[in-house]
Copies of this chain bind each other. A is one copy, B any other.
Amino acid sequence: MATKFNQLGLIGCGLMGGSFALALKRAGMVRHVVGYSKSPSTVILAQKLGIVDQAAESALLAVSGADIVLIAVPVAATEATFRAIRNLVQAGTLFMDVGSTKVDVVDAARGVLKERLPFFVPAHPIAGKESAGIAHADAALYRGCQVILTPVAETEPRLVDRATEAWTAVGAQVRRMSPEAHDQAFAAVSHLPHLLAFAAFAAVARQSDGARFLELAGPGFRDFTRIAASDPAVWRDILLANRAQILGQAAIFKAQLGLLEVAMRDNRPEVLEALLRDAAQGRGQWQMFAARGTTPPPPASK
């Protein structure tokens, strides 16, 4: 049975943070939520929606008295948030973020928090919706999704367990890996696909006949480019924060594309079909973790 938290300090009242607060409340895992948002109207809305019980006037005040803190701000604002709250980062409180990149967040935490680094448990919930903002907060957002925790050598093991309890309580499956392994894997399966989708949509749209071409596009194009509608500011930050890994994955992708192009240019049906078949069979067998439904993998060992 998971131990309850008394007070959640929520820094950043958007879709991710609001959904976490709502889900933690619904699970009976927290008594009180104190929220801070850079935009005062956002935190007022969060109160009206019953997601936040009390508005804080600063990030530091949101931390005061909390035994669990979620930093759910844009990745580029994480370091400034660490600076704002560092004097209250201390034993007895669990600090987490929700950023899509982890090496840069850990570097920022190490640089700013220094000897308080052990109280920060870096987290990346693999969740999201097309529509951002507190108004779309959803207690079921994390149900069935994966949350990656990337503790480092200094991280307090007891807080990693507490973090695991919190995310499990909101319905997520928790995995642990190093920040480096995280950023490498997500460069491959998330960051590069976003970069390619942005490039692919722009490549069509910017042609002189682009508008006419787009009128003819069907469901394949729709799904392939869906992630190209993602928030440009969020993705600017992710693509820069993890650029070494992403550029490395882009090189691997371009080599693979090159093999297909050569098979086309040289009119080699057998070579081309073998390459396509390899991809199609792999994709046909691949099942997304979330789609496995009732048979989640065993929890990762420490």
* Secondary structure dominating the interface of A: helix
Decide if B207 touches A252 in the complex (CB within 8 Å): yes
- Interface presence of A197 (CB below 8 A): yes
* Contact A280–B218 (Cβ < 8 Å): no
B188–A280 CB distance below 8 A: no
Whether B218 lies near A247 (C-beta < 8 A) is no
Once the chains bind, are A289 and B215 in contact (CB under 8 Å)?
yes
> Of A184, A186, A236, which is in contact with the most chain B CB atoms at under 10 Å from its CB?
A236
18 interchain pairs, CB-CB under 8 A? A148-B216, A184-B213, A188-B210, A189-B213, A193-B224, A197-B224, A201-B279, A202-B279, A203-B256, A205-B279, A217-B286, A222-B288, A222-B291, A223-B226, A223-B227, A229-B280, A236-B272, A239-B272
How would residues 185 to 229 of chain A score, 1 for a CB under 8 Å from any chain B CB and 0 otherwise? 110111011111111111111110110111111111111111111
CA distance A213 to B257 in the complex (A): 19
Using CB atoms and an 8 Å cutoff, list the residues of chain A in contact with chain B: 126-127, 145-146, 148, 175, 184-186, 188-190, 192-207, 209-210, 212-233, 235-236, 239-240, 243, 246-247, 249-250, 252-257, 260-261, 264-265, 267, 269, 272-273, 275-280, 282-284, 286, 288-291, 297
For A284, what are the chain B residues with a Cβ–Cβ distance below 8 Å?
229
Q: Tell me, in angstroms, the Cα distance from A212 to B182 when the chains sit together.
A: 11
In the complex, which residue of chain B has the Cβ closest to the Cβ of A252?
B203
Q: How many copies does the complex hold?
A: 2
Among the listed B190, B201, B228, B254, which residue makes an inter-chain contact with A254, where contact means beta carbons less than 8 Å apart?
B254
Which 3 A-B pairs have CB atoms at the shortest separation, nearest pair first?
Answer: A232-B276, A189-B217, A232-B277
Closest beta carbon of chain B to A218's beta carbon, Å: 5
Chain B residue, CB-CB nearest to A225: B283
The residue that A223 contacts in the complex, of B216, B223, B239, with Cβ under 8 A, is B223
Give the complex CA separation of A195 and B264 in angstroms. 11
